[in-house]
Amino acid sequence: MWYVQGRRQGNENVNSDNGAIIRLYSKQILELAANIPRIGRLENCDASAKVRSPLCGSTVTVDIVVEDGVITGFAQDVRACALGQASASVVAANVIGRSRSEIEQVRLELREMLEAGGAVPSPPFEQLALLQPARDYRNRHASIQLVLDALVQALGKLEPQTVA
């Protein structure tokens, strides 16, 4: 590919492309992706779910233990891009002690933040705000949401009285 005065033929300005990529894959995103907590599988879990994004092929498998309506055990196997990994990192760091309704709420808040320019997810998941630059990249949304989709699916496999 050849360049003419800072432009690639048929593409946006090279400098603005690089700026967008730098914002999308910020140092904080890459740090989260490199340090995902609760990686692995739980042997004696109450429920598991594996979710795959058909668009990019990313997958997340979650295992959960639930007691008295809250998540008390969590592990995940994450095969996703840095954005999906960063999302999984934030969720894993904050999932213990959360109820089904809290997980469903943060899932909705994340979706609204990405798709409709909604507010940042509520605490303790506010660090998902680092993914705001991905709003303009709809093809990345599914990967970012995988961990929460898998959690909701796993929670849905449990008896209603088990989860609140």
Q: Which pLDDT score, from 0 to 100, does residue 98 have?
A: 98
Indicate whether 66 belongs to any domain: yes
For residue 19, tell me if it sits in a domain: no
In this prediction the pTM is: 0.85
Residue 11, in any domain of the structure? no
pLDDT score at 22: 66
Give the three-class secondary structure for 146. Answer: helix
pLDDT value at residue 88: 98
Contacts of residue 106, Cβ cutoff 8 Å, sequence gap at least 6: 91, 121, 122, 125, 128, 148
Residue 120 located in a structural domain: yes
pLDDT at position 13, please?
Answer: 39
Report pLDDT for 160.
Answer: 72
Domain that holds residue 47: 37-156
In a domain, 63, yes or no: yes
Instruction: Indicate whether 101 belongs to any domain.
Output: yes
Average pLDDT per run of 10 along the chain, which is 164 residues long?
37 50 84 97 97 92 97 98 97 98 98 96 97 93 97 92 57
- The answer to whether position 73 is within a domain reads yes
Phi, psi dihedrals of residue 126, rounded to the nearest 5°: -65, -20
Question: What's the pLDDT at 55?
Answer: 84
When divided into structural domains, the chain yields a total of 1
Task: Give the CATH number of the domain where residue 43 resides.
Answer: 3.90.1010.10
